[in-house]
Structure 1
Amino acid sequence: MQLLILDALNLIRRLYAVHEQRHTDSQAALAATSASLIHAARRLLHQFKPSHVVAVFDGAPQGFRHHLYPEYKANRSPMPEPLANYLTQLQQDLWGLGIDALLSDTDEADDLIATLAYTLSQHNKPSVIVSTDQGFCQLLNTNIQLWDHFKQQALTQPLAEQRFQLSVSQLVDYWALTGVSGSNIKGVPGIGAKRALALLHQAGSLDALLSAHPASLSKAHQAVLVHREQALLARQLVKLATDVELGFNLQDLRYHTSTNRS
């Protein structure tokens, strides 16, 4: 069994952005996006030959992260209205290829994706997440890999650990310290990538940093202690949930190459 998981809006919004620049007419841009999505999906199906496949969409306008931190993702541009109104058609395009759409009224797509991949990994089954979102790196292990469709590159656990110079298990704490600008998540003031790396190489984890005695600590370490609550909140926000109630059997996602539902 291998599950192919499409981070649908991550893929669709990037395809649309390309065609929006090429076409002055929104309908032409949407039609081109539809064609590109079908082409991309067929290519992914041919390349990975999954036994199971799903396209995960964001359905929840606000999840638990917005309740914890109302400014979560407040810096992101809203989806263009023509594209938002066209999503049902794009879901139908995927449906015609045998790819079901998954969305929730309460949970973010990232958490649905994380739960799917983690659940299979616990049963020693592989999955491929198609996304450019580096936040999924926290999930990587021998059973989970990340695929960038636009760069045509895989990101595995060893490659991610080489890139970040940290173990995958340290990435959530790393982002808690640095913050994640793309999601408007504030980290510890004054802590950038280099200082976060140095702190985690020294202490190993955010918990270890927070439990250290404040005497004779570096200024960066002292800043973590001063902004303890902000760091802990950031960690809650960047950590993906892997225990979302899916409400269906994974066998429901089985892919049949002969499927024709369009």
Structure 2
Amino acid sequence: MSSTLLIIDAMNLIRRIYAIQEKQQGENQKAVDKTKETACNALKKLLNIHQPTHVICVFDSHCPSWRHQLYPLYKQGRKPIPARLKAGLEEIQDSFFEMGIESLITETDEADDLIATLAIKMEKSGQKSIIVSTDKGFYQLLSKQTVIYDYFQHSYTDTGRVLNKMGLSVDKLTDYWAMTGISSSAIKGVEGIGEKGALALLHQYGSLQKLFDTTVDEQDKRLSKVKKAEKEARLAKQLVSLKNDIELGFNLQDLRYKKNH
């Protein structure tokens, strides 16, 4: 029997909801309470839309990860989670549990890597995943079995949409981001190589590794810049690539959604 796992990027959903509630209610407990109520309603809508056989909400622990160890500036400058919301997360998780939805959080792993591990596990077993998030970093996980759903825009993203939107197949995205960097995570790419430059280089050479392997052509200034910044580009690629082999400690059966819960 075919299974579909609904993987919810919980903090992506909750923080966006909270930002709206904070504007409407102010920075107080009422904003947190309304966030919990709205998030639960969002989950009900998502369950109704997608009719998954299995579901899980994945949370960030807000602890330093392996990426911080490799690159101390990782996510520097990003606005931290509001203290009042952070204090209310356990209550929100309890509300999800009452709806029959488990929450996954570890002290050592980022939510992005946990989500990647879940999606790849499903793909390898020929099962489907729907990742609920607005984070483009998950584009690298897209496949015949895995799609992304934006709850706020009510839209799906699949491999074809990424190809049309970015002019690249999903398997080249980490090479692309290694050169362009990701400003929201404070990951620097290769200085002087913008989005157009990275796209042109990948179309011409095929991959980041082939760029490094190519003999320097002084006429090609972009190629020279990438080769000179090989160390930085390799680090950036490592940082933007999602880990997908985390030991989870449970199996798919534990995530089965019981509609009559």
Regarding TM over 0.5, the answer is yes
Partner of residue 254, structure 2: 252
Partner of residue 187, structure 1: 189
Of residues 158, 162, 165, the one that matches 1:163 is 165
Q: How does 1:103-142 map to 2 (within 5 A)?
A: 103-142=105-144
CA distance in 1 between partners of 2:70 and 2:29 (Å)? 38
Q: How does 1:1-262 map to 2 (within 5 A)?
A: 1-59=3-61, 61-259=63-261
Distance 1:72 1:251, change over 3 A: same
Query: What's the TM-score, normalizing by structure 2?
Result: 0.98
Give the conservation status (yes or no) of the 8 Å contact 2:217–2:223.
no
Deviation (angstroms), 1:122: 0.9
Deviation (angstroms), 1:258: 1.2
Deviation (angstroms), 1:24: 2.3
Give the conservation status (yes or no) of the 8 Å contact 2:218–2:224.
no
SS of the aligned residue for 2:160 comes to helix
Query: What's the TM-score, normalizing by structure 1?
Result: 0.97
Count of matched residue pairs:
259
Deviation (angstroms), 1:105: 1.4
Deviation (angstroms), 1:215: 2.9
Deviation (angstroms), 1:189: 0.1
CA distance in 1 between partners of 2:253 and 2:233 (Å)? 39
Give the conservation status (yes or no) of the 8 Å contact 1:60–1:106.
no
Deviations 1:142-176 (A, max 9, x none): 10000000000000111111111001000000000
Query: Residue type matched to 1:237 in 2?
Result: L
Deviations 1:5-46 (A, max 9, x none): 000000000000000001125111111111110110000001
Indicate the percent of aligned positions where both proteins have the same amino acid. 46
Query: Residue type matched to 1:41 in 2?
Result: L
Give the conservation status (yes or no) of the 8 Å contact 1:60–1:107.
no
Deviations 1:33-66 (A, max 9, x none): 1111011000000111111000000125011111
Deviation (angstroms), 1:75: 1.6
CA distance in 2 between partners of 1:125 and 1:24 (Å)? 43
SS of the aligned residue for 1:17 comes to helix
CA distance in 2 between partners of 1:188 and 1:114 (Å)? 26
Runs of 4 or more off by more than 2 Å in structure 1? Answer: none
